[in-house]
Amino acid sequence: MEIAYVLYPNLTALDLVGPFEVLGCVPVVNAKFVAASLDPVKSDNGLTVVPTHTFADVQSADVVVVPGSGHWKQVLAESAELVAWLQAVHPTTKWTTSVCTGSTLLAEAGLVSKATTHWAARDELTARDVEVSTDRVVFDGKVVTGAGVSAGIDMALRLVEAEFGVQVAQTVQVGIEYDPQPPHAYSSIPAEVEENLRAFFAASSQS
């Protein structure tokens, strides 16, 4: 199974690495890291990833994984080449997936009708006539979207289950010891925390 991980400047590293680690546990998976060029790509927090293929090199893939970015407004504004590639490769895929604000790129490409994303970017989906879900993982036909950042691990585990069965997914989950126990409750976000984050995202997404 060939998986194309999409790279672009300012992607969020965990959006990429989380699914890669999960899906890489399945022996039949072959990963490609696809970008506009073979130049190294720097994430929004500074991690550098080297592409293995260009968009021109990859005409088809079994699975496409599109990470998000903390700079999603800027990414959307500069996404024409990436969006065109997604539109071209999507008909060949068995699964087209995204993590976090990567779903806004799928929406920009017109590939999804219902999706989840990072809570701060839901308006971007609504503006593109996509039904917004607050679920952690959403299946919309062969399009699978994960919510913010860490949800990429959940998305990939759900994908492994859909493709290889429950036992394989459980084996991978136990193998990576994925058992989230966050120190703070997530169900109720303090207003001050949300306001601070929205201000940070607004500044970073325009930079």
The pLDDT score that the predictor gives to residue 201 is 80
The pLDDT score that the predictor gives to residue 186 is 72
Q: Three-class SS of residue 130?
A: coil
Q: How far apart are CA 70 and CA 191, in angstroms?
A: 20
Return contacts of 49-56, CB within 8 angstroms, 24+ apart.
49/7, 49/11, 49/13, 49/16, 51/7, 53/4, 55/81, 55/82, 55/85
The pLDDT score that the predictor gives to residue 53 is 98
Name which residue leads in pLDDT, 172 or 193: 172
C-beta separation of 157 from 178 below 8 A: yes
Which residues constitute the domain of residue 179?
2-206
Of 113, 117, 55, nearest to 85 by C-alpha is 55
The whole-number average pLDDT for the span 17-28 is 94
Query: 27: pLDDT confidence band, cut at 50, 70 and 90?
Result: confident
The whole-number average pLDDT for the span 30-36 is 97
Question: What are the backbone angles phi and psi of residue 85, rounded to the nearest 5°?
Answer: -65, -45
State the chain's mean pLDDT as an integer: 94
Among 64, 82, 100, 109, the one annotated catalytic: 100
Phi and psi based region of residue 51 (left: phi greater than 0; alpha: psi -120 to 50; beta: remaining): beta
Beta bridge partners of 65: 5, 97
Q: How far apart are CA 88 and CA 149, in angstroms?
A: 26
Read off the CATH number of the domain in which 25 is found.
Answer: 3.40.50.880
The pLDDT score that the predictor gives to residue 206 is 61
Beta bridge partners of 114: 131
126: tokens are 């609504």
The whole-number average pLDDT for the span 66-75 is 96
The pLDDT score that the predictor gives to residue 138 is 98
Does the active-site annotation cover 100? yes
The total number of structural domains in the chain stands at 1
Q: What's the order of all strands across the beta sheet hosting 137-140?
A: 53-54, 30-35, 2-6, 63-66, 95-99, 143-146, 137-140
Q: How far apart are CA 140 and CA 171, in angstroms?
A: 25
Query: pLDDT tens-digit profile of 72-131?
Result: 999 999 999 999 999 999 999 999 999 999 999 999 999 999 999 999 999 999 999 999
